[in-house]
């Protein structure tokens, strides 16, 4: 029987190895970056802070340096081998986590986590380049969907493992233990990743990155501006939820270890459902990533409005927030993976991936202290209003983007 569809083509032995290395490398990265969410309440107590606004500067520092680093890494990633770039980024991030586990002052923590953002920014763009270099056609779509699962699995493993580690040891080990694993995998990457295959032919411009040339093409400037606007507001929502959800649950005071773990087990299931929803929408939209992001943001707006109206209920607020988490997980790979692949013809996948990821984390950098400020005193209703306003703007921008991108690809096909 002929194999069809995004999930219908089998990988070659080399592609299986590349899939394992790329998935494992980025999963390892999540383990030493998402762990901060679980540790934040304990770090706040350790430092003697009584409010959320100041402690929010630790993850906020990461988001700023990660965002700015993506611009550089995206450009470099289109020009150098990903082998050493990814090894340096992952191993250095692991080292920073080890140092963070011994940190005892707020300024040192902010500096270290900012450095973690720099090294983590060296990973996604070259991984996307690696995927484009080694996969094409149906297999490229399959691998891109597979990489979207790193978000779900990474958060699930990190939140669950970090909660258990923090409960039976302390917050210091939340950084130390995952760092040892991630550092080990960085060595696996270095040993087993071999020389890249030749760049596949997408069109006549294939030897060098042609990102600058796109700006002279009709409709591209407005398309890229709208992509960045959507990415910015997505970043605000995504990290407002994913960074602060554990703190939100702890602030209610009625969650035991078992109930907290229960929610953290449900979250990845919901996030997986979000990925499946994204795949369904994309399939019905003829693999149009711009149509897909519009629909996902529209659904997210409806959920956020419900969260605002039901914020008086602790259970309803958590349910709506978890649902929103699933939708942000669905939207993220569309922006960071499927958007860049749309520009593979011009050999600038890494540059586009780095640029979009940069703007998403600029939004995250703004979001972290803002969410902490709005939630100060555990008043999460103000946060839900912020989500609704941001998503309303994002929906309008994505609707215009859908039309602008269609005009661009039609005019430059």
Contact 146, 23 (CB under 8 A): yes
Identify the pLDDT of residue 371: 78
Distance between CA atoms of residues 356 and 225, nearest Å: 10
User: Which run of H or E residues covers position 287?
Assistant: none
Which helix (H) or strand (E) is 402 found in, with range?
Answer: helix 381-411
> Does residue 260 contact residue 167 with C-beta atoms inside 8 Å?
no
Both structure tokens of 137 = 């056609």
Question: Which residue is listed with tokens 């194999």?
Answer: 3
What are the per-10-residue average pLDDT scores of the chain (413 residues)? 48 87 92 86 75 70 84 72 88 94 87 92 85 78 81 81 85 91 93 66 45 70 88 88 70 55 69 83 76 91 87 75 85 83 73 82 79 70 85 93 85 72
What's CA 91's distance to the chain center, in Å?
A: 19
Check if the beta carbon of residue 101 is closer than 8 Å to that of residue 172: yes
Give 3-state DSSP helix, strand, coil % of the chain, rounded to 5: 80, 0, 20
Distance, CA of 14 to chain centre: 26
- Residue 7: its pLDDT value, please? 41
The rounded distance, in Å, linking the Cα atoms of 160 and 166 is 10
Q: What is the pLDDT of residue 99?
A: 94
Outline where 253-313 has alpha helix (H): 257-284, 289-309
- Looking at the whole model, is its pTM more than 0.75? no
Query: Which pLDDT does position 189 carry in this prediction?
Result: 92
Domains and their CATH numbers in the chain: 13-411 (1.20.1250.20)
- Rounded Cα–Cα distance for residues 368 and 156 (Å): 20
Q: Rounded CA gap, 62 and 242, in Å? A: 14
pLDDT at 126: 85
Q: Chain centroid to CA 172: how far?
A: 24
What count of Cα atoms within 13 Å lies in the side-chain half-sphere of residue 260?
Answer: 22
Q: From residue 108, how far is each of 52, 99, 103, 104 by CA, in Å?
A: 18, 10, 7, 7
């Amino acid at each position: 029987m002929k194999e069809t569809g995004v999930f219908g083509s089998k990988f070659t032995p080399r592609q299986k190895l590349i899939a394992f290395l790329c998935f494992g490398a980025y999963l390892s990265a999540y383990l030493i970056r998402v762990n901060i969410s679980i540790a934040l309440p304990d770090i706040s107590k350790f430092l003697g802070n009584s409010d959320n606004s100041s402690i929010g500067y630790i993850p906020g520092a990461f988001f700023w340096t990660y965002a700015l680093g993506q611009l550089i890494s995206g450009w470099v990633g289109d020009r150098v081998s990903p082998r050493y770039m990814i090894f340096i980024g992952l191993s250095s991030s692991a080292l920073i986590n080890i140092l963070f586990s011994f940190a005892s002052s707020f300024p040192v923590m902010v500096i270290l986590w900012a450095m973690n953002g720099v090294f983590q920014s060296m990973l996604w763009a070259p991984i996307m380049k690696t995927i484009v270099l080694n996969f094409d056609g149906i297999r490229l779509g399959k691998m891109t969907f597979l990489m979207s699962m790193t978000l779900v699995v990474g958060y699930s493993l990190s939140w669950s493992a970090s909660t258990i580690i923090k409960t039976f040891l302390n917050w210091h080990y939340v950084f130390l233990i995952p760092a040892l694993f991630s550092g080990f995998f960085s060595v696996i990457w270095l040993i087993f990743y071999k020389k890249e295959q030749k760049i596949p032919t997408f069109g006549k411009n294939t030897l060098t990155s042609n990102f600058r040339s796109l700006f002279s093409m009709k409709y591209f400037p407005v398309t890229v501006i709208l992509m960045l606007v959507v990415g910015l507001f997505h970043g605000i929502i995504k990290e407002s939820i994913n960074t602060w959800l554990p703190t939100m649950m702890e602030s209610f005071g009625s969650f035991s270890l078992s109930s907290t773990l229960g929610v953290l087990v449900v979250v990845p299931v919901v996030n997986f459902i979000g990925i499946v929803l994204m795949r369904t929408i994309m399939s019905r939209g003829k693999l149009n990533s711009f149509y897909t992001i519009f629909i996902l943001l529209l659904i997210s707006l409806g959920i956020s409005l419900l969260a605002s109206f039901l914020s008086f209920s602790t259970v309803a607020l958590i349910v709506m927030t978890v649902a929103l988490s699933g939708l942000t997980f669905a939207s993220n790979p569309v922006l960071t993976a499927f958007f860049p692949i749309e520009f593979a013809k011009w050999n600038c996948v890494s540059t586009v991936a780095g640029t979009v990821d940069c703007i998403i984390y600029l939004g995250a950098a703004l979001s972290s202290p803002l969410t902490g400020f709005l939630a100060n005193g555990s008043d999460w209703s103000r946060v839900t209003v912020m989500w609704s306003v941001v998503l309303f703007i994002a929906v309008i921008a994505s609707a215009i983007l859908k039309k602008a991108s269609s005009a661009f690809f039609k005019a430059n096909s």
